[in-house]
């Protein structure tokens, strides 16, 4: 049976070669291959999004960095307060409590480091983060939990890129030290988020 199958495949290959037609990828594609292609596209899409985020210019000056981190922390604080009151699952509420504590501490440490280089920190949400807060305010139930976790993953990935970029290329030593320490905390949050169950 195996020999007959191999003979048939060989005959088809010879016939294709005789006609001058190489087997095309369409000829060779199976449903399994198509499924693999789709999965690869999903991964490439995710990578492209990450690459686009990484391509955004990161501030290397003390003022720009402090403003960006303050906005990031404020988003975390406000979104976590919403999750504490609107979240459905215990897991989301516990995460919100941890994020609230850690990012309030981060803001205090940011202000202390910034003061050493005469930079004043005034936390304010940028347009993107305000829109994210508005989305959370409009959501409820399990949809709120799902959106909260999704937003946190995105926000923490961006925050980590910001912190790591300044830690390696920033122009103010006290803020570079802050960035290095804060990056470790954010990495811990990302690990926590990745281990959470996605609300259904």
pTM for the complete prediction?
0.72
- The H-or-E segment that residue 7 falls in is helix 2-18
Assigned domain for 120 exists: yes
Assigned domain for 55 exists: no
Cα–Cα dist 133/112, whole Å: 27
Q: Whole domain around residue 153: which residue ranges?
A: 60-194
- We report the CATH number of the domain holding residue 167 as 1.20.1260.10
Assigned domain for 26 exists: no
- The tally of domains found in the chain comes to 1
How many residues are present in the chain? 200
Question: What is the chain's pLDDT, residue by residue, as a tens digit (200 residues)?
Answer: 444 444 444 444 444 444 444 444 444 444 444 444 444 333 333 333 444 444 456 888 999 999 999 999 999 999 999 999 999 999 999 999 999 999 999 999 999 999 999 999 999 999 999 999 999 999 999 999 999 999 999 999 999 999 999 999 999 999 999 999 999 999 999 999 998 876 65
Of 85, 67, 59, nearest to 140 by C-alpha is 85
**How many beta carbons lie within 10 A of that of residue 112, not counting itself?**
12
Token pair 């890129």: residue? 161
């Amino acid at each position: 049976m195996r020999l007959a199958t191999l003979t048939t495949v060989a005959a088809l290959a010879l016939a294709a070669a005789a006609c001058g037609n190489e087997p095309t990828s369409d000829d060779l594609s199976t449903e399994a291959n198509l499924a693999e292609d789709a999965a690869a596209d999903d991964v490439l899409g995710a990578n492209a999004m990450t690459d686009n985020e990484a391509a955004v210019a990161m501030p290397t000056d003390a003022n720009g960095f402090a403003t960006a981190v303050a906005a990031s922390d404020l988003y975390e604080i406000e979104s976590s307060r919403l999750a504490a009151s609107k979240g459905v699952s215990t897991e989301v509420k516990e995460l919100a409590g941890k994020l609230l504590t850690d990012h309030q501490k981060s803001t205090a440490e940011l202000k202390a480091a910034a003061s050493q280089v005469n930079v004043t920190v005034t936390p304010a949400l940028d347009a993107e983060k305000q829109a994210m807060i508005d989305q959370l305010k409009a959501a409820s139930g399990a949809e709120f939990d799902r959106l909260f976790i999704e937003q946190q993953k995105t926000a923490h990935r961006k925050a980590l890129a910001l912190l790591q970029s300044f830690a390696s290329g920033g122009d103010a030593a006290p803020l570079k030290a802050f960035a290095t320490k804060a990056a470790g905390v954010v990495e811990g949050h990302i690990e926590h988020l990745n281990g959470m169950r996605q609300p259904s």
